[in-house]
Structure 1
């Protein structure tokens, strides 16, 4: 069951004060008895990361790469993704850095000041970069998967098309999703999957039916307001805080950095991650690059679980630093705990 933290009067990048409901879930061991791994979801994901409906269930679970018998897994919902019913009308007032700041406040109020790892895919990986730069000492391992620490021109261009679809289409979520699927996969992936086949009943191409299916499927579980926010946040990835000094910012991260890229990714390009690795490893020692080889493009981080496990298993089997969990760790003394009617734990910051 999800719990929630109420962060009152959060000041976003536009200088507006907003009350934030940050919902989260724990999996596996208790946070006071085991190292904690923070898992960040992708654009249409949420805090359900494992179990029957978990979006990363092939990577996270008992006896899996991230073993729930050994670790405590924490997953936040990006505020505004609709999971807990919260949306932002003025969504363009937020940047991804704001989400990292909200996560940092959430960790403080839960009472977690050390993480064994931060891992995330796609925008979740970018959020891992942002949080790691915000709190350089927080995590022993930072693992951005199929992601980047900046919004490239190519990424912004695709998000602009998505924005136009979301604001102008009569069926915006479905149509935007169909467009997105064309850069989440590759021509080779679609060719292998469909081989030019047509439906036996209506004679339409099977690839068309597949796109329509994914569009309608997302429309039934994801809202327009959430899609607009997350798409906008993709255009605000910037660990340099506007200075353009990305490498300097990344070099301040004290933990190991494991960049996982996909050779065929048409969204977060592999060449950008390779360049980041080459330049960052020259000024920081504990940086590693892992490349998934796949024809499936961006979605390979969800499909090629065996390759991802091969890369990450040594990380999650490495020696655990005992300072990364504190059995006596308690939430900040500047927090009040209450149970609301929905059964959520709400942590209200006491205003000075």
Structure 2
């Protein structure tokens, strides 16, 4: 984390009416800002700002001569304040229910403003990161060329809200809250078929391999997250809604001038592809520059972190034609 940079955001007003001071940590990859088109990458629930390089969680997609080529694009990634990646106790947010995904979107825009960035070539994000991308585009509909939400949605469905509640109950009542919450969450991110393909009921030392795998994920997350951080990140999932106090979906989304490229996973059981298909069909009569793509995979929601060949084929046309004029310092 030696590449982390910090911005101090003072007197930020939340949707809840509360005001706070916070530190916003970020990383950059590629050319110096102001010399190339800028891509903002929003991380998912357990992700962070390290999106490229040796330990980058999206290193197969972002880097030199990758789909988002850091020879030609400046990539910025913020950490959601309070996600704990900076290991800074003062940045840990205890009152997690005070925050919404829109608050995070506003904070990210403030961070970009501090960096003198007023226009983006693209905002891209998977899962929660895609929801925050939607919120950012709705807040500043003319400030980006491409909006790319992946395995995501512009709103939290009843299914997402219900599972956030289950996670929150585990986090507030279990003896090993992060560990146990992660066991449940992993079953939302994969499919029965994916687990069968991988484990096939095999055992090791009198325990099923699927059980070993789940316990391993639980322990890893327990070592990565503080409890308040995980509570916050889980809570944000249910707050995504670009229409809250803003009108209906068609009104809000049609004002976004960017090309919207929606990418779903056909087997996703968390953000259903059918929801995205309906959104695109409803929006298309009012907005021509929108496209829909679907990753075919047995792996469910996590396919956006697995099926890199398919994802690259979808994104290559966007990132191979970046206009040299879309630089972004004001």
**What's the TM-score once normalised by structure 2's chain length?**
0.97
Residue 37 of structure 1 aligns to a residue whose secondary structure is: strand
Which of 66, 80, 95 is the aligned partner of 2:100? 95
Distance 1:244 1:172, change over 3 A: farther
Matching residue of 2:9: 7
Which of 68-77 and 237-246 deviates more?
Answer: 237-246
Partner Cα separation in structure 1 for residue 275 and residue 190 of structure 2: 18
Question: 1:321, CA displacement in angstroms?
Answer: 5.3
Pair 1:118-2:120 in alignment = no
What is the 5 A alignment of 1:1-352? 1-84=3-86, 85=88, 86-199=91-204, 201=205, 203-242=206-245, 245-320=248-323, 322=325, 324-326=326-328, 329=329
Partner Cα separation in structure 1 for residue 168 and residue 247 of structure 2: 25
Deviations 1:194-219 (A, max 9, x none): 011111x2x21110110000100111
Residue 316 of structure 2 aligns to a residue whose secondary structure is: helix
Question: 1:247, CA displacement in angstroms?
Answer: 2.1
Q: Are the counterparts in 1 of residues 37 and 322 from structure 2 also a CA contact under 8 Å?
A: no
Partner Cα separation in structure 2 for residue 212 and residue 164 of structure 1: 19
Question: 1:241, CA displacement in angstroms?
Answer: 2.1
Partner Cα separation in structure 2 for residue 89 and residue 40 of structure 1: 22
Question: 1:276, CA displacement in angstroms?
Answer: 0.7
Partner Cα separation in structure 2 for residue 160 and residue 284 of structure 1: 34
Partner Cα separation in structure 1 for residue 202 and residue 94 of structure 2: 43
Which of 34-43 and 221-230 deviates more?
Answer: 221-230
Q: CA RMSD in A?
A: 1.0
Structure 1 ranges of 4+ moved more than 4 A: none
- Give unmatched runs, 5+ long, in structure 2: none
Matching residue of 1:346: none
Partner Cα separation in structure 2 for residue 72 and residue 287 of structure 1: 24
Question: 1:319, CA displacement in angstroms?
Answer: 4.0
Total equivalences in the alignment? 325
CA radius of gyration, larger in: 1
